[in-house]
Structure 1
Amino acid sequence: MQGTTAQRWVKRWDRQQEYDIPDREERFRVVIDAVRAAVGTGPANVVDLGCGPGSLSARLAAALPQVHVVGVDADPLLLGLGAANTGPRVRLVQADLGYPSWPERTGLSGPWDAAVSSTALHWLDADTLATLYRTLAERLRPGGVFVNADHMAPGNSTVDHIALAVRAGRTARAGTHRHEGWAQWWQALGEDAELAPLLDGRPPAPIEHTENELTVVEHAELLRASGFAEAAPVWQFGDDHVLVAVR
């Protein structure tokens, strides 16, 4: 696969992700600001959970020149696109975060300075997520952070409804509701003959995504119960949050 092909598809991926996340780039910058505040500007090891094609990983490495990022994802196709589109301080590895032994399988023994995630952990059920959070608490160094950017309801039925309306309004103003959607992106990808080697062995339909529907308050409580000293949101727009937990 040509690097230009990977770049084209990752750029198209980034655009379709904005369909539901009109402020995705700003949210990325908030995640990077949080990591920088925690680890400084010196050498640091960061793990990107559910990294997809490495969009956040690449931005972290570009913004923090002494950081090394390991992106973890279960999808070999997305990792293949990312491997052709990220720099030398980003390593992408295949592992299923639903299995507790994923750090050993990927050689990520720790300690880590930070872990991040963007729009990826909503598909883990609460029990699996609790196991993942315990793993993070065990692997992060004291003072290390976990920064999670995702749709998480505020946690009040009336406010939750308003938060969805706020995001819908923002999406309409930004015009991202006219972008290509998730299913359309995957359909188009499957029609690109150059990507056939990456498509081999992958299910013919896109991987189904379900929501665990945990609120931001429930995420924070789960993180504290898993061994983090503190957990709270540092950024919000509607139901879109960046949540930081400190080890």
Structure 2
Amino acid sequence: MPENAVVSDERTRVDWTEWQRRWDDQQTGYLPHREARFEAMFDVLAEVLPEDFVALDLAGGPGSLGRRLLARFPAATCVSVDFDPVLLEIGRQSSTDLGDRLRFVDADISRPDLLDLLGLDQVDAVLSSTALHWLPPHALVALYGRMGTLLRPGGILLNADNIPFGRERGRFQEMAEARRARHAVAAFGADMVSGWRAFWEAAEAEPALAAVSAERNRRFADLDRSHAEPILALHLAALSDAGFGAVEVVWQEFDDRVIAAIR
């Protein structure tokens, strides 16, 4: 039997919806207000955009945000871009019911040629959830500039993430981190990274994900996370400099925030 036929057979045996659930469960263990954060984003979209908008989800993983978005807005479409081949595979396989309403693109969002890779002229909304903290400050500033070009006038960018109050680890940041740690301990026990680690160990053990797991390991082998995460003031200033006329924090639970910026 040809190798591609074996891979196809393995994929049909996998419960891809269960893999989506696994991802959501471990994410919620670290982000207890994740669903409220999604709803806040969608409430803003409902106020600003018509029903048939086009959205771009930056670093959208397996499409968790995109699926919820399209359930809330049946006339909308979404393009989800990510560089993790495992999450892209889970997203594509678990979203076949949505047809071309949810499209996945394999690309690094920090690339200077990102707009060319997306194949989009303009979009009405740019969304991101628990992702942009991975970018060093200079890459974040550049990405916001590119999104300012891609968004149509009147379009909106919504970034949901844990965003530090400031560069110094002051009292409010300490409270936010302690609170987040308590939630993680309640979900996963004293070894707070066990939820994240268990997901990826299970993914590597899944035959249908073997090839993309190997590719993931290759892509991220030299990942450098030595940079400091961009602070709130940097996000707000970078969006203003990128040409967004209205920039505000529209939802917040300690340092868990949704920043909204209207083009």
Query: How far does the alpha carbon of each residue in 1:150-201 deviate from its partner, in whole angstroms, 9 at most, with x for none?
Result: 00022372222222234345556xx334485212211111011232233243
Aligned to 1:50: 59
Quote the Cα distance in structure 2 between the aligned partners of 1:31 and 1:4: 32
Aligned-pair CA distance for 1:121: 0.7
Q: 1:90 aligns with which of 102, 111, 123?
A: 102
Matched, 1:99 2:115: no
Q: Which runs of 5+ in 1 are unaligned?
A: none
Mark the CA change 1:166 to 1:59 in structure 2 (over 3 Å): closer, same or farther. same
| Percentage of pairs with the same residue | 35
Quote the Cα distance in structure 1 between the aligned partners of 2:132 and 2:69: 19
Q: Conserved in 1, the CA contact under 8 Å of 2:108 and 2:114?
A: yes
Mark the CA change 1:49 to 1:230 in structure 2 (over 3 Å): closer, same or farther. same
Quote the Cα distance in structure 2 between the aligned partners of 1:197 and 1:162: 41
Q: Conserved in 1, the CA contact under 8 Å of 2:29 and 2:183?
A: no
Aligned-pair CA distance for 1:228: 1.0
Quote the Cα distance in structure 2 between the aligned partners of 1:163 and 1:71: 29
Aligned-pair CA distance for 1:22: 1.0
RMSD over aligned Cα, in angstroms?
2.1
Q: Conserved in 2, the CA contact under 8 Å of 1:167 and 1:239?
A: no
Larger Rg: 2
Aligned-pair CA distance for 1:25: 1.3
Mark the CA change 1:226 to 1:133 in structure 2 (over 3 Å): closer, same or farther. same
Quote the Cα distance in structure 2 between the aligned partners of 1:2 and 1:209: 36
Matched, 1:78 2:87: yes
- Helix, strand or coil: the match of 1:84? helix
Q: Mean alpha-carbon deviation: is it higher for 176-185 or for 88-97?
A: 176-185
- Helix, strand or coil: the match of 1:201? helix
Query: How far does the alpha carbon of each residue in 1:107-142 deviate from its partner, in whole angstroms, 9 at most, with x for none?
Result: 1221x1100000111111111111100011111111
- Helix, strand or coil: the match of 2:248? strand
Q: Conserved in 2, the CA contact under 8 Å of 1:165 and 1:238?
A: no
Aligned-pair CA distance for 1:49: 0.2
How many residues were matched structurally?
Answer: 243
- Helix, strand or coil: the match of 1:53? coil
Mark the CA change 1:5 to 1:198 in structure 2 (over 3 Å): closer, same or farther. farther
Quote the Cα distance in structure 1 between the aligned partners of 2:220 and 2:37: 25
Aligned to 2:160: 149
Query: How far does the alpha carbon of each residue in 1:80-102 deviate from its partner, in whole angstroms, 9 at most, with x for none?
Result: 11011121211111111111211
> Structure 1 residue runs of 4+, over 3 Å off?
166-172, 177-180, 204-212
Matched, 1:195 2:209: yes
Q: Conserved in 2, the CA contact under 8 Å of 1:123 and 1:209?
A: no
